Amino acid sequence: MSTEKDTELKEAGLTSEGMQAIRQDFVKKVTSYEHTAQYITNLLLKTPGVHSVRYRVKNPLHLHKKIVRKKLENNERVITLATYEEEITDLAGIRILHLFKSDWQHIHKFIMNTWTLKERPIAYHRQGDSPAFLKMFEECDIKEHPYGYRSVHYIIETSPTKAKRYIELQVRTIFEEGWSEIDHKVRYPSFSDNPLTNSLLMILNRLAGSADEMSSFVQELSIHLEQSQHELEKMQEERDEQIAKLNSLIDNPETSKQIKSTLEGVAKSISHSPQFILPPDAMAGVLNVIKSNFLSINEGIFRNAGAGGLANLHQTNAIDKVMDMVAEEAEKTNQHLQRQKKGIKTKRKPKPKPTTSPDA
C-alpha cells in the first residue's frame, strides 16, 4: 500500500531508494561542509564592515524535503546522487550581518575579489525602494521579493580539498535579519498565507526599513558633526593665533597709542566674532526621512485595514503621535547644537518677583 510520501515522490519523479542514497551520501559529507563553512566564516569576520557572521549546514531531512519541493516545482530538473550538490547550492549557508547599509559595499568587494561565483549575485528588495538605493546593486541581478525581503545572496565556489563545494552567502543588515527571522519563524514552517499575519509582517518589514534609514542618517550626522567640530577647532586656533599676534603688537613699546587703540579694537572684534554655526537645516534630512517612512507605514496599515482586525488600528493615531514626538525632540537637538556652535550657554530665565497688590 503506497503512502502519501511515496505518492509525492512519484509525482516528483523520484524514488525512495534514490533519495536514501542522497541522504546517506550527504551525511558522510556534513563534517567537510562544516569545516569549509568555519574557514569562510573566519575570513569574513576579519572583513571591514562585517558586524557578525553565523553559519549552518543543512539538515539531511530538510535536504530531502527541498529536493522533493524543487522537483515538484520543475519536474525537468535533474537531481540525482551525482548532481544534487550542484543543484542544491545552500547545503552550507553563511549569513553576514552589517550595521549600516553602506557597509555592504566593503563586504561585496571582498566577496567578489576572494571567490569565484557560480552565478551573478541576487539583490532582493522590497516594493517601493528608491532607484538611488537600487543603483548600489548594479553588479547584481535585482529582484523584487513578494514579502519585502531585503538581502544579497551569493553562491561561491570553493575547493578546500579536490571536491568542489558550493556555499551560499547571505548579506543583510541587523534590522533586516531581525525581521526575516521573525518572518521565517511565523511563515516558513507551514508556508502560512494568513492575510492578518501577512499584513502585520509587512508593517514590521517597513519598520525594519525605517530603522535602517535612521541608522544611516545617524551615521551621516555623526560624521558631519565630527567634521564640523574639526573645522570649528581649526577656526578657533586661527583666531587665537591672530589675537596673539595683535596682542604682541599692542604690548610692543614702540607701537603708538593710536595704533594700539586700533589694534585693541580689531582684537576685540575678532574675539567676539561668530563661531562656526551649524546650518539651521542640519536635521531637516533626518526629519523628512522619519516623516516619509512613518507615512509609508501608515499607508500600509490603511491599505491592509480590511484584513482581520487591522481596521481599528488607524483609530489610535499612534504613528502620528510618535512622529510628532520624534520631530519635536529632533528640533530641540538642532537648536541645542546651534547654541553650542555659537558658544551660547543656555541661561535660565530669572523667576519673577512676587508682586504685592496695592489693596493688600
Q: Is residue 162 pLDDT above 60, yes or no?
A: yes
Residue 11 Cα to chain centre, angstroms: 42
**pLDDT score at 276:** 44
Is residue 49 domain-shared with residue 165, that is, in the same domain? yes
Residue 233: domain span: 207-342
Helix, strand, coil tally for the chain in percent (to 5): 60, 10, 30
Dihedral of the CA atoms 149, 131, 101, 300 (nearest 10)?
-50
Is residue 219 domain-shared with residue 333, that is, in the same domain? yes
Q: Which residue has the cell 561561491?
A: 156
Is residue 280 domain-shared with residue 213, that is, in the same domain? yes
Is residue 136 domain-shared with residue 264, that is, in the same domain? no
Is residue 27 domain-shared with residue 138, that is, in the same domain? yes
**pLDDT score at 320:** 55
Q: Does some domain include residue 292?
A: yes
Q: Is residue 9 pLDDT above 50, yes or no?
A: yes
Grid cell in block for residue 355 = 508682586
* Of the listed ranges 24-28, 46-50, 346-350, the one predicted with least confidence: 346-350
Is residue 219 domain-shared with residue 127, that is, in the same domain? no
**pLDDT score at 330:** 59
Q: Does some domain include residue 88?
A: yes
- Span 289-313, pLDDT tens digits: 555 555 554 554 444 444 444 444 4
> Which residue pairs, CB below 8 angstroms and at least 24 apart, start in 10-13?
11/72, 12/67, 12/68, 12/71, 12/72, 12/75, 13/71, 13/75
Residue 147's identity, in one-letter code, is: Y
Q: Does some domain include residue 352?
A: no
Domain count, the chain: 2
Is residue 18 domain-shared with residue 143, that is, in the same domain? yes
CA distance 207 to 195: 19
The pairing of strands 122-125 and 141-144 is parallel
Is residue 269 domain-shared with residue 219, that is, in the same domain? yes
The DSSP bridge partners found for residue 57 are: 92
Is residue 12 domain-shared with residue 160, that is, in the same domain? yes
CA of 324: how far to CAs of 281, 284, 302, in Å? 17, 14, 19
CA distance 55 to 52: 11
Q: Do 91 and 155 form a contact (C-beta atoms < 8 A)?
A: no
Q: Where is pLDDT greater, at 127 or 303? A: 127
CA distance 9 to 61: 14
Band of residue 333 on the pLDDT scale cut at 50, 70, 90: low
Pure H helices in 165-283:
174-187, 195-251, 257-271
Closest to 215 in 3D by CA, of 268, 301, 293: 293
Is residue 167 domain-shared with residue 212, that is, in the same domain? no
Grid cell in block for residue 188 = 516558513
Q: Of 154, 175, 196, which residue sits at a domain end? A: 175
CATH, residue 88: 3.30.460.10
- Span 85-102, pLDDT tens digits: 999 999 999 999 999 988
The DSSP bridge partners found for residue 97 are: 52, 172
Dihedral of the CA atoms 309, 310, 311, 315 (nearest 10)?
120
Is residue 9 domain-shared with residue 93, that is, in the same domain? yes
**pLDDT score at 208:** 81
Closest to 36 in 3D by CA, of 79, 93, 82: 93
